[in-house]
Amino acid sequence: MSAPQTANRIDTRFQQLHADSKRAFVAYVCAGDPTLDRTIDVVLALEKAGADIIELGLPFSDPLADGVVNQLAADRALRAGASTQGVLDMIRKLREHTQIPLVLFTYLNPVYAFGYERFHHEAAAAGADGILVLDLPPDEASQNAELKPAPDLRHIQLIAPTSSPERIKQIAASAEGFIYYVSRLGVTGTQTSVATGIAEQVAVIKAASNVPVCVGFGVSNPDQAAEIASKADGVVVGSAIVRLIEQNGSSPDLADRLLAFVKPLVDAVKAV
């Protein structure tokens, strides 16, 4: 594990939430959807709605772990001209307006193509705080010198509902910032109900790590958000927000519509 050397915005936000006995609301959007410039407006609207952390999806041509909603968002972003360098430049502009914690949610391919260590350094310099590489297991990173974690960004780890206790311990040992517990199998997408066994799995994870645990995959309404918030340190909402951007990306009032949709979700999480 690459031990964090200094606190960053993710650490500080969770410390504040813990002091206030509040849960985190983590919002996912695809950077560049509908455009990189409008992504700035999207993030600021999510912050205004009360989001604590923003996951910015790095557009990729083959997002195999994503459902159709997020796949289409990546495609729209790429068609609109988004690139890895463009996303980093957008983050620099975004930092002129907000200090909300930012996590880059990505596949290994675009990061590796950019240069793994170089990406970490430049992303941190631009203003990113963490990175979640969907298809890079921690044991693979430890076996390949060029993929070892750089200290610039917090390395967020994913844990699946099928992970064994031994695997959970291994993953949790290298977790930084927070752990993202995927509450159900399959690809991303909204669901009509909350997965079972969340409280039990979160307890197992927390016994193996001292970093917060946030739960996502399928959360789309305030009742679901509140139910998950009662069992974890935070709630992640992605596809439901991305779908709203898809439906209103060309509307001048996109930010207002995002605010109206997300605030009830945030309020439900904070009321727990």
Count of CA atoms in the C-beta half-sphere (13 A) of 82:
29
The residue from 52, 66, 122, 176 that is catalytic is: 66
Q: How far apart are CA 207 and CA 25, in angstroms?
A: 22
> Exposed e or buried b for every residue in 219-232, given b needs 16+ CB within 10 A?
bbebebbbbbbebb
On whether the CB atoms of residues 101 and 54 are closer than 8 A, the answer is yes
Amino acid (1-letter code) at residue 256: D
Query: In 4-135, where does DSSP find H-type helix?
Result: 9-19, 36-49, 68-79, 84-94, 108-114, 116-126
Is 256 part of the annotated catalytic residue set?
Answer: no
**What CA–CA distance (Å, rounded) separates 23 from 272?**
8
Selecting among 33, 55, 122, 233, the annotated active-site residue is: 55
β-strand pairing of 234-237 with 24-30: parallel
Q: Is 66 a known active-site residue?
A: yes
Long-range (24+ apart) CB contacts under 8 A made by 153-157 are 153/104, 153/120, 153/123, 153/124, 153/128, 153/129, 154/4, 154/8, 154/10, 154/11, 154/103, 154/129, 154/130, 155/2, 155/130, 155/131, 156/103, 156/130, 156/131, 156/132, 156/180, 157/132
Q: Which residues are catalytic?
A: 55, 66
